[in-house]
């Protein structure tokens, strides 16, 4: 109810009051020109009428004149602070800008002055859900229900609000009440069906299986619930939980309906007392018999046969694996290795697979010049070679894998999979250029296949060939997009953005890398914003179960590896910039746009100009076109990322990026290291120490952790003024568990090295610490050269890191190290002398397969 | 191990990634959400150890013209190249169609396919019993024509 007394500034004489009502109607019908004109008429006489100013601002926003519109709305609000219309309009604008926190504040204000306005209440409910203010949501939904109990949605929405707020019992009560009073439900009403399925879910979460089963059976019979799969799934679970004899039949029915669903077999077997994740000698027999029967019954289904492989052991496994392999190799199933890979955790199964596959291969062996014996299928031969190549490469036997692949390629040079995998093996050996070249050849075999194209692009990015990668991607992106990169970004390709960001980082272009990591961050922000419309939509459609599922996903959105990786890498760049601000300016002078990027920039500028000109024209002729309230996409005013790199407060920005990781990536050591690095520089010592402790509990020997422990001690010791007593005491007691007080840093470091003498990464970490502690360069150098000893486990990635380190300390022995690595990593091209780089990059791109084969001979000879 | 089941919200990112790797017709997450949340029973995924390797994104057509019957629409279907020859596309399609028939009583299902996409045409015509209903000129962003294909679901509607 609006307040009893209308403040004088708001009241309008009869004529203008009628005009104002017209403005509201015009706005509702989106007759924007008329609405604007009418509003101006009012304002001529009453220039300070807050509500009219707000409406005018709203209309202008819809017409695309957003800045003007916002100004007017703000003005209007200031002139009439107790008008629900003003606050509502302000809220609408803020909501359109995705500024949900502020919008909710405006809506809350609006509700103060019009407590029972349905529109405002509904919008407020959506905002409360978006912001996860579930207490407030329950209240709002109560009000809405009280005001309009005849509306089904209001009942369901209240139940959902209770559910979200953690009160399942109340949710259930609301649903029961609703079902008691609802009338006139038509036959085959999908909405009612969904409501009942939601009710069942609530009961299941409450563990009230008997009641759930009763509700289910009653409504399934009366055909009120029409989703057969959902009925069957619920039913099977309830019957199992109740130990009901009908459960087996229920699971059987599900398997009959979809014999490719792993969960159904899991449920069936669990019901018979067999836990597929924890097979015992007792349960093994039942499991295998059951799976045998199902395999017979459902010959087209892969699941029963594959599950049997996980369950079986020893001779039984051997008897199953041979026909399984054979059937799929004869069919030519590319994913066979990926399918069986999980079994390799069991060494005996891995060996059995190897034997079976090799036995099969041996049956194909014939003299290289002789034709393939007629009774053998050449296809099977090729796929067996392919499978074994994958097998051996997985076990680190890359040379063997390459031999097998080359045999296959000589036999069948037209199978893209062979080229792709050969590329992959080279990647694993540290030859990204060769890898890119081979994957490109795969791509050339089928230019219509986007999958091959995407792989090629990815491998080019891995080889640092950014422009060439974008060219390849561009063969499948939209022709009218400003650039292939822009299209992939618009389509939210996290794969592309991640790979390009990483490539830019490897190339030392921090600005562009940061820009792409920021683009990834924005994709996730968009994913988060996208849920907003569904707060209303799903309630209206009653598809509550999937809606709740959506909210749950949104709650852990940033646990996705792409976000975690982007946040960690971006924070590392920002920390680097904080430590050395000259990096930001250096990057600016170094950054040069590639030809393609310059062209794209020009094109974008042209397009932007066109848009501006058309907008000017449009505002001149003031069309009725409704541009809506959503914020228009911002133009890219930082094409080479320098602005972003130079932006102030890098540490604060880094902290913000990393924040979700402390809950959503708790098991990720690198995340905690990143959090520590930022915290320690922001002088938040407790937070830093907490991060170190988390990292320590996950992997006490992690090399990066070792470095950070030393770093922390040095920073802490060098503080002229310790922070408060409480902080100091906590730090002192807690830190001593990581590094005992009486142990010197030098000693701590040598202890670490002594514990891990054959780990290349540990040797590097210890050397870095020595350097930090002031050891002379020669000493540090010989320390890392120790990583080359035959007894040390050294990956090429670590070798590269050592090489970087030697470069950082300006070691004259860097070339010596690279040469030694070149010998050790025979197939790698990452330790070639630097002047060979242009040639290597060129070799990664081929024009045709014919060229390739010729050049291949040259390289080998 | 590949499992086939109804799509859930947490699969959407995987479906989007799968789509971007395989097809030139792509969508922003908003669309995936919209299709999944409007007809949650109709979209299925093939998942291998947490990775989405195949999917079908489908819905019931909202605007049903005069004289037309309720029908399903396959918005997008795709399987990663590395997971072909397992019959996944067929399995996904059949499950979706059965849901269209039983939940929504759809009379038929329709989809668009590029005129020159012989592989897909073969799958739809021969394996899945679709037939060409119409041609939509210039349907695709690059100007290529689409065959509008239909398959009756009368044999599935209970």
Note the pLDDT tens digit of each residue in A10-51: 888 888 899 999 999 999 999 999 999 999 999 999 999 999
Mean pLDDT of chain A: 91
Residue B41 near chain A (CB below 8 Å): yes
pLDDT band at A594 (very low <50, low <70, confident <90, very high): low
Minimal Cα–Cα distance from A373 to chain B, Å? Answer: 26
pLDDT above 70: residue A698: yes
pLDDT reported for residue A5: 66
Q: How confident is the model at residue A848, as a pLDDT?
A: 52
pLDDT attached to residue A854: 46
Residue A616 has pLDDT above 80, yes or no: no
Asked whether residue A296 carries a pLDDT value surpassing 90, the answer given is yes
**Contact across the interface for B41 and A534, Cβ inside 8 Å:** no
Kindly give, in sequence order, each residue whose CB lies less than 8 Å from that of residue A37, ignoring residues fewer than 6 positions away: none
CA A258 from centre of chain? 29
pTM of the model: 0.92
Over residues A472-495, the mean pLDDT reads 95
Residues 6+ apart with CB under 8 A from A568: A658, A661, A670, A671, A674
Stretch (H or E) spanning A144: helix A134-147
Element spanning B51, H or E: strand B51-60
Q: Give yes or no for residue B157 having a pLDDT over 70.
A: no
Interface contact A534-B36, CB threshold 8 A: no
Query: Residue A800 has which token pair?
Result: 């590269």
Q: How far apart are CA A756 and CA A766, in angstroms?
A: 10
B131: distance to nearest CA of chain A, Å?
A: 24
Q: How far apart are CA A444 and CA A453, in angstroms?
A: 9
Q: Is A454's CB within 8 Å of B21's CB?
A: yes
Q: How confident is the model at residue A855 (pLDDT cuts 50, 70, 90)?
A: very low
**CB–CB of B53/B91 below 8 Å?**
no
* Portion 126-145 of B in contact with A at CB < 8 A: 141-142
Q: Nearest C-alpha of chain A: how many angstroms from B81?
A: 7
Task: Tell me the mean pLDDT in the region A738-751.
Answer: 94
Which residues from A are below 8 Å from B9, CB to CB? Answer: 546, 549-550, 552-554
Question: Chain B, 12-31: which have a CB under 8 Å from a chain A CB?
Answer: 12-13, 16-17, 20-24, 26-30
Give B24's contacts in chain A (Cβ within 8 Å): 450, 476-477
- Is pLDDT above 70 for B56? yes
Q: Do the chains contact at A530 and B33, CB–CB below 8 Å?
A: yes
B26 Cα distance to chain centroid: 13
Q: Half-sphere exposure (CA, 13 Å, Cβ side) for A95? A: 24
Q: b/e per residue, A736-749, with b = 16+ CB within 10 A?
A: eebbeeeeebeebb
- Lowest-pLDDT choice from A142-151, A614-623, A817-826: A614-623
Cα–Cα distance for residue pair A636/A638, rounded to 1 Å: 6
Q: What share of chain B is helix, strand, coil (3-state, %, to 5)?
A: 35, 30, 35
Do A531 and B105 count as a contact with CB atoms less than 8 A apart?
A: no
- Rounded CA-CA distance A62/A92 in Å is 11
Predicted confidence at residue A611, as pLDDT, reads 63
Residues in A touching B141 (Cβ below 8 Å): 478-480
> For residue A423, what are the contacts with CB-CB under 8 A and spacing of at least 6?
A434, A435, A436, A437, A438, A439, A442, A455, A459
Q: Which residue of chain B comes nearest to A541, CA vs CA?
A: B38
A229 to B41: CB separation less than 8 angstroms, yes or no = yes
Q: Which of A817, A810, A815 is nearest to A835 (CA)?
A: A815
Average pLDDT of span A740-768: 95
Q: Shortest CB distance from A492 goes to which of B28, B53, B95?
A: B28
SS3 B77: strand
Does the pLDDT of residue A288 top 60, yes or no? yes
Tens digits of per-residue pLDDT, B128-151? 999 999 999 999 888 899 999 999
Q: HSE of A762 in the Cβ direction (CA atoms, 13 Å)?
A: 17
Weakest mean pLDDT among A9-23, A192-206, B54-68: A9-23
In this structure, of A438-447, A479-488, A628-637, A662-671, the range with the lowest mean pLDDT score is A628-637
The pLDDT, as a whole number, for residue A857 is 43
pLDDT at A8: 73
pLDDT at A584: 86
Partner residue facing B37 (CB), from A230, A492, A546: A546
**3-state DSSP assignment of residue A228:** helix
Distant-in-sequence, close-in-space partners of A216: CB < 8 Å, separation ≥ 6: A200, A225, A231, A234, A235, A238
Mean pLDDT of all residues in A643-666: 95
B81 and A451 in contact by Cβ < 8 A?
yes
Q: Say if strands B108-114 and B71-79 run parallel, antiparallel, or are unpaired.
A: parallel
Q: Using only C-alpha atoms, what is the Rg of chain A?
A: 33
Report, as an integer, the average pLDDT of A414-443: 97
pLDDT for A364 beyond 80: no
Percent of chain A whose predicted confidence (pLDDT) is above 70: 92
pLDDT value at residue A856:
45
* Residue A447 in this model has a pLDDT that exceeds 60: yes
Which residues in chain A have Cβ-Cβ distances shorter than 8 Å to B20? 454, 488, 491, 493, 495
pLDDT > 60? residue A860: no
Q: Which residues pair with B48 in a beta bridge?
A: B2, B51
Average of per-residue pLDDT across A120-146 = 97
Shortest CA distance to A154 belongs to which of A417, A473, A536? A536
pLDDT exceeds 80 at position A589:
no
Q: What is the pLDDT of residue A223?
A: 86
Judge contact between A343 and A310, C-beta under 8 A.
yes
Asked whether A86 and A74 are in contact (CB, 8 A), the reply is no
- Are B55 and B45 within 8 A, CB to CB? yes
pLDDT of residue A859: 38
Task: From chain B, pick out residues whose CB is under 8 angstroms from the CB of A227.
Answer: 41, 99, 102-103
> Is residue A851 scored above 90 in pLDDT?
no
- CB neighbour class for A351 (10 Å; exposed up to 12, middle 13-18, buried from 19): exposed
Distance CA A799, CA A791 (A): 15
Chain B residue numbers touching A554 (CB-CB < 8 A):
9
| Residue pair A512/A645 in contact by the 8 Å Cβ criterion | no
Does the beta carbon of B85 lie under 8 angstroms from any beta carbon of chain A? Answer: yes
Mean pLDDT of all residues belonging to chain B: 94
Distance from CA of A314 to the nearest CA of B (A): 21
Do residues A80 and A10 lie in contact, with contact meaning Cβ atoms separated by under 8 Å? yes
Q: How far apart are CA A564 and CA A548, in angstroms?
A: 24
H helix or E strand, kind and range, residue B74: strand B71-79
CA distance, residue B157 to nearest chain A CA (Å) = 12
Spatial CA neighbour of A492 closest among B26, B24, B98: B26
Encoding tokens for residue A308? 């049997």
Contact residues, chain B, for A291 at CB < 8 Å: none
Q: Say if residue B92's pLDDT is above 50.
A: yes
The confidence score (pLDDT) of residue B66 equals 87
Residues of B in contact with A261 (CB under 8 A): 3-5
- The alpha carbon of residue B48 is apart from the nearest alpha carbon of chain A, in Å, by 8
Chain B residue with minimum CA distance to A225? B103
Structure tokens at A819: 């040469």
Distances (CA, A) of A244 to A33, A200, A202, A204, A438: 68, 18, 21, 16, 58
The pLDDT confidence band at residue A3, using thresholds 50, 70 and 90, is low
B28:A560 CB<8 A: no
Q: Decide if B28 and A454 are in contact by the 8 Å CB cutoff.
A: no
State which residue of chain A sits closest to B20, comparing Cα positions: A493
A454: tokens are 């995407």
> Quick one: average pLDDT of A407-426?
96
Structure tokens at A813: 């022995």
Closest CA to A564 of A666, A486, A644, A649: A666
Nearest chain B Cα distance for residue A550, angstroms: 5
> CA-CA distance, A85 to A90, in Å (whole number)?
9
pLDDT bin (cut points 50, 70, 90) of residue A60 is very high
Residue from B22, B26, B144, B158 to probe the interface with A (highest A Cβ count within 10 Å): B26
List the beta bridge partners of residue A716.
none
- Residue contact B9–A553, C-beta within 8 A: yes
Asked if A260's CB is within 8 angstroms of B4's CB, the reply is yes
Longest CA pairwise span in chain B (Å): 46
For the residues A696-712, what does the mean pLDDT come to? 97
Instruction: Give B52→chain A minimum CA distance, Å.
Output: 14
Q: How many beta-carbon pairs under 8 angstroms link A with B?
A: 136
pLDDT band at A2 (very low <50, low <70, confident <90, very high): low
Cβ-Cβ contacts under 8 Å for A832 (sequence gap 6 or more): A822, A840
- pLDDT for A858 beyond 50: no
Distance from the Cα of A452 to chain B's closest Cα (Å) equals 8
Strand partners, B47: B3, B52
Instruction: Tell me the range of A4-13, A258-267, A724-733 where mean pLDDT is highest.
Output: A258-267
Q: Do the Cβ atoms of A386 and A411 come closer than 8 Å?
A: no
* Residue A493 predicted with pLDDT over 90: yes
- pLDDT score of A515 more than 80: yes
| pLDDT of A312 strictly over 70 | yes
DSSP A479: T
Which of A179-193, A419-433, B14-28 is least confident? A179-193
Residue A600 has pLDDT above 80, yes or no: no
ipTM for the predicted complex comes to 0.96
Give A490's contacts in chain B (Cβ within 8 Å).
28
Tokens of A675: 């959090």
In this model, does residue B110 exceed pLDDT 80? yes
pLDDT (mean) for A370-383: 76
**Who has greater pLDDT, B66 or B55?**
B55
Q: What DSSP element (H or E) covers B45?
A: strand B44-48
Percent of chain B, pLDDT > 90?
Answer: 85
Q: Could you give the CA distance from residue A482 to residue A466 in angstroms, rounded to a whole number?
A: 17
CB contact (8 A) between residue B48 and residue A450: no
Which residues of chain A does B78 touch, with a Cβ-Cβ cutoff of 8 Å? none
C-beta atoms of A547 and B37 within 8 A:
yes
Task: Give A373's DSSP letter.
Answer: P
Q: CA A644 to CA A638: how far, in whole Å?
A: 7
DSSP code of residue B124:
I
Judged by CB atoms closer than 8 Å, whether chains meet at A335 and B48 is answered as yes
The encoded tokens of residue A832 equal: 């070639």
| Minimal Cβ distance to A303: which of B3, B24, B81 | B3
């Amino acid at each position: 109810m609006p307040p009893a007394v209308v403040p004088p500034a708001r009241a309008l004489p009869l004529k203008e009051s009628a005009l104002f009502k017209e403005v509201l109607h015009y706005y509702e019908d989106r007759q924007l020109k008329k609405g604007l004109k009418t509003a101006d008429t009012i304002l001529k006489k009453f220039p300070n009428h807050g509500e009219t100013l707000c409406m005018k601002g709203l209309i202008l926003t819809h017409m695309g004149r957003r800045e003007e519109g916002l100004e007017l709305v703000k003005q209007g609000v200031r002139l009439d602070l107790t008008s629900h219309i003003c606050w509502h309009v302000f809220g609408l604008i803020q909501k359109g800008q995705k500024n949900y926190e502020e919008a909710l504040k405006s809506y809350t204000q609006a509700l103060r002055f019009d407590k029972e306005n349905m529109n405002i209440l509904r919008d407020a409910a959506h905002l409360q859900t978006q912001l996860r203010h579930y207490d407030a949501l329950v209240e709002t939904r109560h009000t809405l229900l009280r005001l309009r109990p005849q509306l089904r949605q209001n009942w369901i929405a209240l139940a959902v609000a209770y559910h979200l707020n953690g009160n399942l019992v109340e949710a259930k009560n609301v649903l029961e009440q609703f079902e008691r009073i609802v009338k006139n439900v038509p036959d085959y009403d999908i909405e009612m069906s969904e409501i009942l399925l939601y009710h069942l879910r609530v009961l299941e979460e409450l563990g009230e299986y008997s009641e759930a089963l009763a509700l289910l059976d009653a409504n399934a019979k009366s055909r009120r619930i029409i989703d057969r799969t959902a009925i069957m799934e619920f039913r099977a679970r309830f019957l199992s939980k109740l130990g009901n004899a009908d459960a087996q039949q229920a699971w059987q029915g599900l398997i009959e309906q979809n014999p490719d669903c792993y969960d159904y077999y899991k449920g069936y077997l669990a019901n018979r007392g067999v836990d597929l994740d924890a097979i015992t000698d007792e349960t093994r027999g039942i499991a295998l018999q059951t799976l045998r029967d199902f395999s017979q019954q459902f010959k087209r289904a892969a699941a029963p046969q594959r599950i049997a492989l996980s369950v079986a052991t020893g001779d039984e496994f051997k008897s199953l694996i041979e026909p399984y392999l054979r059937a799929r190799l004869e069919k030519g199933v590319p994913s066979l290795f990926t399918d069986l890979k999980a079994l390799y955790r069991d060494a005996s199964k891995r060996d059995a697979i190897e034997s079976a596959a090799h036995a099969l291969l041996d049956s194909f062996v014939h003299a290289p010049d002789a034709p393939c014996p007629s009774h053998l299928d050449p296809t099977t031969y090729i796929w067996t070679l392919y499978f074994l190549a994958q097998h051996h490469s997985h076990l680190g036997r890359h040379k063997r894998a390459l031999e097998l692949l080359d045999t296959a390629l000589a036999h069948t040079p037209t199978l893209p999979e062979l080229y792709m995998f050969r590329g992959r093996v080279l990647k694993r050996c540290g030859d990204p250029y060769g890898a890119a070249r081979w994957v490109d050849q795969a791509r050339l075999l089928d230019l219509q296949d986007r999958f091959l194209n995407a792989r090629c692009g990815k491998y080019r990015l891995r080889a640092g060939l950014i422009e060439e990668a974008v060219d390849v991607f561009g063969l499948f992106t939209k022709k009218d997009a400003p650039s292939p990169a822009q299209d992939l970004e618009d389509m939210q390709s996290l794969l592309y953005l991640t790979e390009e960001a990483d490539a830019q980082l490897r190339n030392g272009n921090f600005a562009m890398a940061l820009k792409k990591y920021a683009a990834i961050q924005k994709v996730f922000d968009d994913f988060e914003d996208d849920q907003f419309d569904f707060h209303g939509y799903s309630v209206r459609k009653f598809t509550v179960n999937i809606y709740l599922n959506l909210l749950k996903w949104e709650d852990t959105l940033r646990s996705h590896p792409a976000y975690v990786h982007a946040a960690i890498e971006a924070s590392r760049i920002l920390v680097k910039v904080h430590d050395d601000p000259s990096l930001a300016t250096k990057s600016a002078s170094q950054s040069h746009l590639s030809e393609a990027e310059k062209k794209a920039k020009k094109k974008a500028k042209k397009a932007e100009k066109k848009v501006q000109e058309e907008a000017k024209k449009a505002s001149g002729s003031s069309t009725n076109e409704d541009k809506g309230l959503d914020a228009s996409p911002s133009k890219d005013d930082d094409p080479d990322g320098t602005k972003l790199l130079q932006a102030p407060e890098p540490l604060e920005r880094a902290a913000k990026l990393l924040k979700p990781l402390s809950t959503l990536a708790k098991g990720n050591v690198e995340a905690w290291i990143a959090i520590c690095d930022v915290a320690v520089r922001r002088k938040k010592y407790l937070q830093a120490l907490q991060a170190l402790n988390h990292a320590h509990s996950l992997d006490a020997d992690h090399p990066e952790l070792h470095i950070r422990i030393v770093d922390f001690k040095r920073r802490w010791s060098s503080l002229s003024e310790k922070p408060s007593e409480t902080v100091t005491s906590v730090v002192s007691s807690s830190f001593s568990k990581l590094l005992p007080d009486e142990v010197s840093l030098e000693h701590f470091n040598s202890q670490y090295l002594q514990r891990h003498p054959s780990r290349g990464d540990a040797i590097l970490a210890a050397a870095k610490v020595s350097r930090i502690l002031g050891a002379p360069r020669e000493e540090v150098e010989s320390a890392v050269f120790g990583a080359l000893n035959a007894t040390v486990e050294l990956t090429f990635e670590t070798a590269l890191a050592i090489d970087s380190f030697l470069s950082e300390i300006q070691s004259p022995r860097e070339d010596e190290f690279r040469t030694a690595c070149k010998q050790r990593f025979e197939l790698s091209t990452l330790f070639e002398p630097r002047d060979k780089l242009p040639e290597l990059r060129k070799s990664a791109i081929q024009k045709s397969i014919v060229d390739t084969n010729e050049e291949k001979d040259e390289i080998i000879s | 191990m590949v499992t086939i089941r109804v799509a859930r919200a947490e699969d959407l990112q995987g479906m989007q990634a799968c789509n971007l790797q395989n097809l030139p017709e792509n969508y922003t997450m908003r669309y995936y959400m919209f299709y999944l949340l409007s007809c949650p029973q109709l979209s299925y995924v093939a998942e291998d150890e947490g990775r989405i390797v195949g999917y079908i994104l489908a819905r019931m057509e909202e605007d049903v013209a005069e004289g037309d019957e309720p029908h399903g629409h396959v918005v997008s279907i795709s399987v990663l190249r590395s997971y072909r020859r397992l019959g996944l596309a067929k399995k996904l399609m059949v499950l979706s169609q059965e849901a269209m028939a039983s939940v929504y009583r759809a009379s038929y299902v329709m989809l668009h396919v590029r005129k020159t996409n012989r592989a897909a045409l073969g799958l739809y015509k021969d394996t899945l019993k679709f037939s060409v209903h119409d041609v939509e000129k210039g349907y695709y962003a690059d100007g290529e024509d689409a065959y509008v294909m239909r398959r009756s679901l009368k044999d599935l509607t209970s």
